[in-house]
A and B are shown apart, each in its own frame.
Chain A
Amino acid sequence: MAGSSDLDVADVARVARINLREDEAKIFQKQLDDVLKYVEKLRQVDVTGVDMTGHALPVFNVFRDDAPRDWFTADQALTNASRQANGLFVVPRVVE
Chain B
Amino acid sequence: MTGNHLAALSIADLQSLLRSREVSSREVIDSLRERIEAIDGDLGAYLSLDVEAAIKEAEHANVDLPLGGIPIAIKDIINVMGQPCSCASKILDGYRAPYDATVIQKLRAAGAIPFGKTNLDEFAMGSSTENSAVKSTCNPWDPSRVPGGSSGGSAAAVAADEAFGALGSDTGGSIRQPAALCGVVGLKPTYGRISRFGLVAFASSLDQIGPVTKTVRDAAVIMSAIAGHDPLDSTSLNAPVPDYVGSLGKDLRGVRLGVPKEYMIEGIDPQVRAAIDAAVKQLNSLGAEIIEVSLPSTEYAIAVYYIIATAEASANLARFDGVRYGYRAENPQDVLDLYGRTREEGFGPEVKRRIILGTYVLSSGYYDAYYLRAQKVRELIRRDFTSAFEKVDALISPTSPVAAFKVGERVADPLQMYLADIFTIAANLAGICGISVPCGFAELNGHRLPIGLQLLGKPLDEARILQIAHAYEQSTEWHKARPPIAPSLSKA
Contacts and interface: CB of A to CB of B under 8 A. Distances in A.
Given A12-B359, A52-B379, A57-B237, A17 B300 contact: no
Contact of B341 (A19, A28, A31, A42): A19
Interface in A39-96: 39, 41-43, 45, 47, 50-57, 59, 62, 64, 72, 76-77, 79-83, 89, 91-94
B306 A35 contact: yes
A96 to B, nearest CB: 10
B356 A45 contact: no
A6 interface: yes
Interface stretch (B66-74, B101-109, B268-276, B365-373): B365-373
Contacts of B263: none
Contacts of A79: 96, 98
B98 to A, nearest CB: 5
B54 to A, nearest CB: 22
B237 A35 contact: no
A16 interface: yes
Contacts of A19: 340-341, 343-344
A55 to B, nearest CB: 5
Given A16-B356, A51-B376, A35 B382 contact: no
Contacts of A6: 366
A24 interface: yes
A12 B231 CA distance: 36
Dominant SS at the B interface?
helix
Interface stretch (B5-13, B152-160, B331-339): B331-339
Interface string B220-251: 00000000000100110100000000000000
B338 A92 contact: yes
A76 B303 CA distance: 41
B429 interface: yes
A10 to B, nearest CB: 10
A52 B376 contact: yes
B440 interface: no
A80 B94 contact: yes
B300 A50 contact: no
A63 B24 CA distance: 45
B347 interface: yes
* Max chain B C-beta neighbours (<10 A), residue from A16, A27, A35, A36: A16
A24 B349 contact: yes
B429 to A, nearest CB: 7
B205 A15 contact: no
A28 B344 CA distance: 14
Interface in B29-77: none
A80 B99 CA distance: 12
Contacts of A20: 344, 352
A92 B98 contact: no
Given A28-B356, A57-B190, A59-B237, A42 B366 contact: no
A53 to B, nearest CB: 4
B363 interface: yes
Contacts of A50: 376-377, 379-380
B85 to A, nearest CB: 10
A82 B418 CA distance: 35
B376 A47 contact: yes
B95 A80 contact: yes
Contact of B328 (A28, A52, A53, A82): A82
Contacts of A55: 191, 205, 235, 431
B340 A56 contact: no
A94 B237 contact: no
Interface string A2-37: 000011010011011111100010011001101110
Across the A-B interface, the 7 shortest Cβ-Cβ residue pairs: A56-B431, A80-B325, A52-B375, A19-B344, A47-B376, A19-B340, A62-B234
Interface of A: 6-7, 9, 12-13, 15-20, 24, 27-28, 31-32, 34-36, 38-39, 41-43, 45, 47, 50-57, 59, 62, 64, 72, 76-77, 79-83, 89, 91-94
